[in-house]
Amino acid sequence: MSDQIKITIDGESIEVPKGTTILQAARMIGKNYPPAMCYYTPLKNTGGKCRVCLVKVAQASEANPRPMPKLVASCLTQAEHGMVVENESSPEVLEARNGVVEFLLINHPLDCPVCDQAGECDLQNLSFEHGRSETRYEEGRREFDKIDIGPFIQLHMTRCILCYRCVYLADQLTEKRVHGVINRGDVSEISTYIQNAIENDFSGNIIDVCPVGALTDKTYRFKQRVWFSKPFDAHRDCPKCTGKSVLWMKGQDIIRITSRKDKFGEVIDFICNECRFDHKEPHHWVIEGPRDMGEESVISANKYELPVVSPAVNVDAKFVSE
């Protein structure tokens, strides 16, 4: 049997290598792929938990043309030859996804106006697409105290959706994991249990992999709404990491440094804490140019002024850019 298999998602077919998951195949097709709040390609063992990527398998494979009895997590389910998948074309999938988004939001504080993640928050995007205009949840919401875990990172557990990405990251990228998930059920929390700082060369990456505003950069706290800052690709020679970063600028000031993410929001190269926190002077960096955030990102709006040919004839364009 060939190593390439054919899978059809929402009517579009693609050939993918054996072992590819439905989600990855959908990403290869490139449009209307399922969202993912916990799965994260660069981190092993992630996925399966948030359930927003559930899809319907209408035909399991060419050899077994029966549908799968339940919706499946597309991030973990491998494509089979002849598999037919329904994602956005299935009302059942959309209803389930809306349901999961509602579950993720019932205990979320909805404090986007004061959350540093706003504008680059996967949950915000998801609720925009799949959320209700008003909540059906009338009960008390879960709350936790904010905790400083070391000098650079703040844990705002109330916003957490328990994707476990930061835990896997600490396991896979750093020497000794000091934080994890404690307690269980809906009082589970990301915690160090005892007063403890997450301090190691790569700990700052937990901020980048967090899909919501639960782990934020304390050095950037309340400095700027992200869409008012300008991202630039930049690099520096770093003995610890590739040094390939994104500088978030306000005027001539670097207000934040992050790793670079691909169009699926996944980190391309994890960067070290020295690059992230200790080099906030532009002359430390070789600036490559503006970072393309993709058309859909709110960060792309109101960002780089259009080339002004002549103010007189380009009034409309200037309006658009403001």
Partner 1 sequence: MGRKILLEHIDVPGIQTLDVYRKMGGYNAVTKAIKNMSADEIVEEVKKSGLRGRGGAGFPTGMKWSFLDKKSDKPRYLVCNADESEPGTFKDRYLMEKLPHILIEGMICSSYALGANTSYIYVRGEMMYVIKILEKAIQEAYQAGFLGKNILGSDYSLDLYVQPGGGAYICGEETALLESLEGKRGNPRNKPPFPALWGLYGCPTVVNNVETIADVPWIINNGGEAYAGIGIGKSTGTKLISACGNINKPGVYEIELGISVEEFLNSDEYCGGIANGRKLKAVVAGGSSVPILPADLILTTANGEKRLMTYESLGDGGFVSGTMLGSGGFIVYDDQQCIVRNLWNFTRFYHHESCGQCSPCREGTGWMEKVLHRIENGHGKLSDIDLLVDVAKKIEGKTICPLGEAAAWPVASAIRHFRADFEEHVRNPDSCVKKHLHREMAHAH
Partner 2 sequence: MFSESRLNQINEIVKRYPEGRHKSALLPVLHLAQEDHGWLSIDTMNEVAGVLNLEPIEVYEVASFYTMFHLKPVGKYVLEVCRTGPCCTVGAEELVQYIEDKLHIQVGETTADGLFTLKTVECLAACGTGPVLQIGPEYKYRENLTPQKIDELIDELRAKG
Would you tell me which residues interact with partner 2 (CB under 8 A)? 176-184, 191-194
C-beta closer to partner 1: residue 181 or 317: 181
| Interface segment toward partner 1; rule CB under 8 A; list 46-54, 81-89, 113-121, 126-134 | 46-54
Which amino acid, one-letter code, is at 129?
E
Rule CB under 8 A: is residue 48 a binding residue for partner 1? Answer: yes
Strands 147-148 and 153-155: antiparallel
In whole angstroms, the minimum distance from the beta carbon of 78 to partner 1 comes to 9
C-beta closer to partner 1: residue 75 or 254: 75
Question: Which residue among 1, 63, 114, 187 contacts partner 1 (CB under 8 A)?
Answer: 187
Report the DSSP beta bridge partners of residue 215: 155
Rule CB under 8 A: is residue 50 a binding residue for partner 1? Answer: yes
Rule CB under 8 A: is residue 176 a binding residue for partner 1? Answer: no
Name the nearest CA neighbour of 134 among 102, 160, 166: 102
| Interface segment toward partner 1; rule CB under 8 A; list 186-194, 196-204, 265-273, 290-298 | 186-194
In whole angstroms, the minimum distance from the beta carbon of 251 to partner 1 comes to 41
In whole angstroms, the minimum distance from the beta carbon of 168 to partner 1 comes to 13
Report the DSSP beta bridge partners of residue 245: 234, 259
In whole angstroms, the minimum distance from the beta carbon of 198 to partner 2 comes to 10
Query: Which residue reads 């074309």 in tokens?
Result: 89
Rule CB under 8 A: is residue 139 a binding residue for partner 1? Answer: yes
Question: Which residue among 129, 148, 186, 278 contacts partner 1 (CB under 8 A)?
Answer: 186
Selection from partner 1, partner 2, none that 76 binds (CB < 5 to 8 A by kind) is: partner 1
Strand 72-73: give its sheet, edge to edge. Answer: 12-17, 4-9, 83-86, 54-59, 72-73
Query: Which residue reads 């700082």 in tokens?
Result: 197
Backbone angles phi, psi at 300, to 5 degrees: -75, -25
Rule CB under 8 A: is residue 193 a binding residue for partner 1? Answer: no
Determine contact, residues 120/231, Cβ cutoff 8 Å: no
Encoded tokens for 96:
């389930």
C-beta closer to partner 2: residue 9 or 190: 190
In whole angstroms, the minimum distance from the beta carbon of 170 to partner 1 comes to 16
Report the DSSP beta bridge partners of residue 59: 84
Neighbours of 62 (CB within 10 A): 13
C-beta closer to partner 1: residue 104 or 272: 104
Query: Which residue reads 């140019």 in tokens?
Result: 289
C-beta closer to partner 2: residue 4 or 196: 196
Rule CB under 8 A: is residue 133 a binding residue for partner 1? Answer: no
In whole angstroms, the minimum distance from the beta carbon of 163 to partner 2 comes to 16
Distance, first Cα to last Cα, the chain: 56
The 8-class DSSP code of residue 33 comes to P
Determine contact, residues 291/260, Cβ cutoff 8 Å: yes
322 CB contacts (<8 Å, ≥6 apart)? 302
Rule CB under 8 A: is residue 137 a binding residue for partner 1? Answer: yes
Selection from partner 1, partner 2, none that 47 binds (CB < 5 to 8 A by kind) is: partner 1
Determine contact, residues 101/126, Cβ cutoff 8 Å: yes
Residues that bind partner 1 (CB under 8 A): 47-52, 54, 70-71, 73, 76, 95-96, 99-100, 102-104, 106-107, 136-137, 139-140, 161-162, 181, 183-188
